[in-house]
C-alpha cells in the first residue's frame, strides 16, 4: 500500500491527482473539473464518505460506459423561471453544477429559478451544489435520488435511495449556513468507509438482509430511514427527494435504478436531479436579509447549551474541519490510499504527496 495512508496529503495535491486521473481515462475538461470540484468540496468539509474516495468508482463508471466522458449538456424544455436540462449521461457533478448555474441565472432574472436535470448520475455530496448558489449570494437547494438501499419505517426491504437534500444560505462576511443531509440514518458511502476502516456502525442505522438491526458494516444490507423510532419522518423526506428528482424529471425511481456498485458499468442509470435557487433581493432589501441572518445566527450560537455541549449552526462543524484541512491536509483511509497507488501506477501519474 502507498504510504499516503499514513501521512497527510494537501488538498491541492488531491485536486491535482483527481484531475489528472480523470483526464488520463479520456474525460473532458468540464467533467474532470466538475467531478474534482464536488469531491474536493466533500473532502475539505470532512464529508469523507462522498469525497475523493469516490474517484476509483467514477473512473470505473467512465471507462465502462455508464458515464459519458464527453457529454453535451443541453436545455430541452422549460417555461419562465423553469428549465429542464438533459445531462447526456454525464458524471453527476457536471449535470448538477450546470443545473445550479442555470437556476441562479434564472433567479437573477425572476427571483426564483428551478432546474430539473435528466439523464444524470451519482452526484456525491448535495451540499456542493447548494454551496454553488450560496457563493453567488443566492439561497440554493439541491435534491437527488439514488438506487434503493433504505428500508421504509417498519419495512424489511430496500425501497428509497439515500436521497440527499441540501440547502445553502449566504451569510455576509462569513461562511454560508449549510445543511447537507441524507434522508437515511447515515449515507451508504459511510458504510463503505467504515468497512475500510474496520469500524462498527452506530446503533439503529443499518439492517441485515432480513431487516434486523446490525452494527457490522460488512453485514449491513440496507439502511434505516432518518429518525430511528420516528423513521416515518425520514422516509417521508426521502419521498420529497424522490418526487422532485425522479417523478418531476421523468427519470427512474430508486427501486428501478441499477446498483451503484455494479456489476453493470456499461449502461447509464438514468438518474434525475432538482436544483432550486432563490434570490433574496427579490424578497427584501439585501441589507435587511444580511442583518436577519446575522441576528439569527448570533442568537443561535449564543443560546444556552446543555452541560458539556456546544450549540452550532448547520455547517459550523464542517467549516471548522475545512479550516483545519486547508492547513494540515487530509489523511486518506487505507482502501483509498491503496486505490490511489494503483491508479497512479496504471496511468503514470505522480501519486498525491
Cβ neighbours around 287 below 10 Å, total? 9
Angle between the N-to-C axes of helices 11-24 and 334-347, in degrees from 0 to 180, rounded to the nearest 10: 50
- Sequence ranges of the domains in the chain: 9-285+328-347
pLDDT of residue 4: 52
Residue 186: per-residue pLDDT: 87
Q: Identify which of 171, 157, 196 has the alpha carbon closest to the alpha carbon of residue 1.
A: 196
What are the pLDDT digits (tens) for 8-33?
999 999 999 999 999 999 999 999 99
**pLDDT(1) > 50:** no
Mean pLDDT, range 183-207, rounded to an integer:
88
In this predicted model, what pLDDT tens digit does every residue of 272-292 receive, in sequence order?
999 999 999 999 999 999 999
9-285+328-347 is classed CATH 3.40.50.2300: no
Q: Does 5 have pLDDT greater than 60?
A: no
The average pLDDT across 44-61 equals: 96
Q: Is 282 left (phi over 0), alpha (psi -120 to 50) or beta?
A: alpha
284 CB burial (10 A radius; 0-12, 13-18, 19+)? exposed
- What pLDDT score does 193 carry? 81
pLDDT tier, 190 (very low <50, low <70, confident <90, very high otherwise): confident
pLDDT at 93 over 90: yes
Q: What is the pLDDT of residues 121-164, one digit of tens each?
A: 999 999 999 999 999 999 999 999 999 999 999 999 999 999 99
- Among candidate residues 217, 155, 144, the one with its CA nearest the CA of residue 181: 144
- pTM here? 0.93
Least confident of 66-70, 90-94, 229-233, 296-300: 229-233
For residue 295, is pLDDT > 70? yes
Cα-based distances in Å from 208 to 146, 217, 223, 303: 20, 9, 9, 40
Report the distance separating Cα 141 and Cα 166, nearest Å. Answer: 6
Question: For residue range 73-86, what is the model confidence (pLDDT) as tens digits?
Answer: 999 999 999 999 99
- Over range 200-216, report the average pLDDT: 92
Q: Looking at residue 6, what is its pLDDT?
A: 67
Residue % of the chain over a pLDDT of 70: 98
Question: For the chain, what percent of residues have pLDDT higher than 90?
Answer: 90
The reported pLDDT for the residue numbered 3 is 47
Amino acid at each position: 500500500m502507498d504510504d499516503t495512508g499514513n501521512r497527510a496529503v494537501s488538498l491541492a495535491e488531491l485536486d491535482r491527482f483527481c484531475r489528472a486521473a480523470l483526464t488520463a481515462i479520456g474525460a473532458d475538461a468540464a467533467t474532470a473539473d466538475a467531478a474534482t470540484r464536488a469531491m474536493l468540496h466533500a473532502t475539505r468539509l470532512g464529508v469523507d464518505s462522498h469525497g475523493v474516495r469516490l474517484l476509483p468508482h467514477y473512473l470505473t463508471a467512465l471507462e465502462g460506459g455508464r458515464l459519458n466522458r464527453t457529454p453535451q449538456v443541453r436545455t430541452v424544455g422549460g417555461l419562465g423561471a423553469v428549465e429542464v436540462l438533459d445531462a447526456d449521461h454525464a458524471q453527476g457533478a457536471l449535470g448538477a453544477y450546470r443545473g445550479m448555474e442555470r437556476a441562479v441565472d434564472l433567479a437573477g432574472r425572476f427571483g426564483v429559478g428551478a432546474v430539473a436535470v435528466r439523464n444524470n448520475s451519482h452526484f456525491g455530496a448535495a451540499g456542493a451544489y447548494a454551496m454553488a448558489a450560496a457563493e453567488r449570494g443566492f439561497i440554493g437547494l439541491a435534491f437527488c435520488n439514488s438506487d434503493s438501499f433504505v428500508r421504509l419505517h417498519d419495512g424489511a426491504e430496500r425501497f428509497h435511495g439515500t436521497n440527499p437534500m441540501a440547502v445553502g444560505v449566504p451569510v455576509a462576511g462569513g461562511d454560508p449556513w449549510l445543511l447537507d443531509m441524507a434522508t437515511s440514518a447515515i449515507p451508504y458511502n459511510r458504510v463503505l468507509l467504515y468497512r475500510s476502516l474496520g469500524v462498527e456502525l452506530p446503533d439503529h442505522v443499518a439492517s441485515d438482509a432480513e431487516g434486523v438491526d446490525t452494527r457490522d458494516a460488512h453485514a449491513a444490507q440496507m439502511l434505516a430511514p432518518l429518525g430511528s423510532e420516528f423513521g416515518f419522518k425520514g422516509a417521508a423526506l426521502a419521498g420529497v427527494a424522490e418526487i422532485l428528482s425522479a417523478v418531476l424529471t421523468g427519470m427512474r425511481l430508486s427501486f428501478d435504478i441499477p446498483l451503484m456498485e455494479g456489476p453493470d458499468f456499461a449502461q447509464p442509470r438514468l438518474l434525475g436531479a432538482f436544483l432550486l435557487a432563490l434570490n433574496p433581493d427579490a424578497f427584501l432589501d439585501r441589507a435587511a436579509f444580511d442583518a436577519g441572518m446575522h441576528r439569527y445566527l448570533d442568537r443561535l450560537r449564543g443560546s444556552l447549551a446543555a452541560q458539556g455541549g456546544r450549540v452550532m449552526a448547520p455547517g459550523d462543524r464542517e467549516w471548522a474541519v475545512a479550516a483545519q484541512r486547508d492547513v494540515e491536509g487530509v489523511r486518506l483511509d487505507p482502501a483509498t490510499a491503496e486505490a490511489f497507488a494503483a491508479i497512479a501506477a496504471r496511468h503514470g501519474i505522480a501519486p498525491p504527496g
